Amino acid sequence: MARERGLIRRGVLWLLLLGPLFFLSYGLTNSYTAGRDDIGSLVFGWERHMPLWPWTIIPYWSIDLLYGLSFLLPLTRREMDRHALALLTAQLISISCFLLWPLRFTFERPELSGLFGWLFDVLMGFDKPYNQAPSLHIALLVIIWAMFARHAQQRFWRWLVHGWMGLIGVSVLTTWQHHFIDLPTGALAGFVCLWLWPQQGPLPWQHAQLASDPKRWRLALRYGLGAMLLAVLAVKLEHVGLWLLWPAVSLLLVALNYGVLGAGGFQKGADGRLSIASSVLLAPYLLAAWANSRLWTRQHPQADEVCEGIYLGRMPGRGEAASFRAVVDLCAELPCTAIAGKPALVGAGLPAMAAAQAPAYYQHFPTLDLIAPDSHLLQQAAATIEHLRQHGPVLVCCALGYSRSASAVAAWLIISGRCSDASQAEMLIRKSRPGVVLHPAHHRVLRQLEALS
């Protein structure tokens, strides 16, 4: 992809804004916190055995250089601006947290000499031990790491990027700059920023609107209550219990998706992958959702042919997908790892793929779990199914293969004229896959399509 013109100047302008803002806000917050009498600390017992490795001040300092170099990598204005806005958001989140609940680093670092000692002296001339959780160093690292990893194409450079960035992450502990609690909270802040400013696709709130479906609000309330319960337990249990904040954030994000953001909040791309930010933030929920899909389909894992090479089934694994030429995916929350990276169908222009590669085509119509797809989406899915069946067997799937995907197959049967009405389509589907569940909401949408056919 060719680089857009004027990006170097744009990057310099962003640096001229972000650089002074960083030093001014960070320094003032440190100075203000130093005069407070409500500063706490949170230290695990095992941290007292953390070694001090003076040489790791080199990777620790290197993030400043990488911060500037990261603005040379974007290929488009959108990528540049979203990267800069993610860095700015990390700054705002961290500074706000430093003011709301100040923490202090409690270990006394011994005197160091030589180059490493001088670097520590320079650092401590600016950085006081008060701005701790979430670690702004780690939050910025997550964002910068994502940028460099995205543009490191060759294997050597990718391993170098991952190795050095990982070393920077470790260095915040081995330089005795942060306690452990600062790392996961800093990483959380960084991934939230990447989720707010994704590299591709619309912004999470770009198409946000309050859900009009009462069922979406009921599900949002359940997930929200689950998030609140886990957060309360995390605070009550302290220390190890703080890990419960991860699933709490995960459930809170799912609640937002149901109540406001919609299926796009999961950030599943046209290649079947979730964004790196969604994958990390939603990891506890995704693990539970995947386990649930396998549990419910353990006695019937295979897809079922409805008619004329159209199969209905669960989200396929790599071995399960090998029998199909194309996959039509109705699931918003689970990645389709079996085809991740395959080109999507765009209109009628199909990419030329080797016949040995199956499935060759993938199309995604994201739909929230337990929520009936709207008529427009089902019309698009039906048209795609009809088009892809010309190239071989097509798998239409969702998490279980019993509801969302079944409604898409029913829509295809109705619109293509293979069934005269929704009842006949449902009977045909149930004949091949008895466990299908279509709720009244699905029936209403299918009847709308029936009227249009």
Q: Rounded to whole angstroms, how far apart are CA atoms 45 and 312? A: 53
Q: Rounded to whole angstroms, how far apart are CA atoms 353 and 345? A: 12
Residue 442, both tokens: 């699905």
Cis peptide before 129 (omega within 30 of 0): no
Whether 393 contacts 358, CB under 8 Å = no
Whether 208 contacts 260, CB under 8 Å = yes
Q: Rounded to whole angstroms, how far apart are CA atoms 15 and 21? A: 10
State yes or no: is 398 an active-site residue. yes
CA dihedral 297, 300, 301, 303 (to 10 degrees): -120
Q: Rounded to whole angstroms, how far apart are CA atoms 248 and 230? A: 5
Q: Rounded to whole angstroms, how far apart are CA atoms 326 and 316? A: 12
Q: Rounded to whole angstroms, how far apart are CA atoms 31 and 102? A: 12
Q: Which of 97, 331, 398, 419 is catalytic?
A: 398
- Scored b (16 or more CB within 10 A) or e, 280-302 reads bbbbbbbeebbeebeeebeebee
State the catalytic residues. 398
